[in-house]
Amino acid sequence: MTQPVAAAPWPWLTGWVFLSWRHHEKIRRDLESSLSVGTAIATMRDRESRSRSASLAWFDHWYPVLCFFFLFQGVVMMRISFVIATGVFSVSLLSGAAMAEQNSAMMNAYQARMLIQDFTQRLQGELKGAMKDGGPVAAVAICKDKAPGIADSLSQQSGWQIGRTSLKPRNVERNSPDLWEQRVLRQFEDRARIGENPNTITYAEVVEESGGRSYRFMKAIPTAEVCLACHGKKINPEIAAALDAAYPQDQARGYEAGDLRGAFSLKKPL
């Protein structure tokens, strides 16, 4: 009977040696890796420490500069804000003042127009009654006596100075224009000459005078058909005689219908 042959131990031994070597290599690599990581961590910590130290040194160096910069910036922004706010406030005040002045001018112009309308209605009422009772000759006396009284009455009631004027006045003593009125009347003539309707021509201005500031307003007086009896080129001799007697220096003749004859002139102290 054949006896079994015992297996040689060398393959097992070789495998054990190989596995031991692989395990040793793994331990060595793990150790080296651990040492490398530790070294890297240490290096990173060292760098972080140096970076922190550098940052603290930079901060210590620049902190006063930064404080001054932000303080200066704050002051500058406050100044800019103050300048802007002052500008806006000034503009608001100017706008408010301009608006108030404009509103005042509109109100004054409205009052002036209403006074002119009142004056015209009263005078026309007197003239119609005189024309009905005594004809154009009677109307001459109304213009001479009643018109100034109506103007004076309205002036006392309103606080305005109300009158009529012309570059060719009929009542020279009362209605001759001053320098300002002369300038405006010539302006009216120029405006009518280029086609502006005399019924709508007006002018207003705040004037500095010796007695103070005044608001002045003028409205053109066009020549109507009914006015030609006393202001036209062909005047009845009887009417002409009455005019000569009432107004020795009369210049208000020779007009045609639509001509600019003069203007209402109103003034209000401010």
Dist. CA 182–CA 192, nearest whole Å: 15
pLDDT confidence of 27, banded at 50, 70, 90? low
Averaged pLDDT for residues 111-135: 92
The pLDDT value given to residue 7: 47
* Three-class DSSP category at 216: strand
Averaged pLDDT for residues 189-210: 94
pLDDT tens sequence across 203-233: 999 999 888 999 999 999 999 998 999 999 9
Order of strands, sheet of 212-222, starting from the edge strand that comes earlier in the sequence: 161-165, 260-269, 212-222, 202-209
Task: Find the Cα–Cα–Cα–Cα dihedral 180, 186, 192, 196, rounded to 10°.
Answer: -40
Averaged pLDDT for residues 98-113: 87
Averaged pLDDT for residues 27-53: 58
Backbone angles phi, psi at 6, to 5 degrees: -70, 140
Tell whether the model's pLDDT for residue 143 goes beyond 50: yes
Among 2-6, 42-46, 78-82, the least confident range: 2-6
pLDDT tens sequence across 164-184: 999 999 999 999 999 999 999
Is the torsion defined by CA of 258, 259, 261, 267 positive or negative?
A: positive
The pLDDT value given to residue 209: 85
Average pLDDT score over the chain: 81
Number of H helices, E strands in the chain: 5, 4
* 75-to-62, 66, 67, 225 alpha-carbon distances in Å: 20, 14, 12, 76
pLDDT tens sequence across 234-262: 999 999 999 999 999 999 999 999 999 99
| CB-neighbour burial class of residue 137 (10 A; exposed 0-12, middle 13-18, buried 19+) | middle
The pLDDT value given to residue 12: 47
Among 1-15, 28-42, 166-180, 223-237, the least confident range: 1-15
Tell whether the model's pLDDT for residue 20 goes beyond 60: no
Dist. CA 164–CA 155, nearest whole Å: 13
The pLDDT value given to residue 167: 97
pLDDT confidence of 135, banded at 50, 70, 90? confident
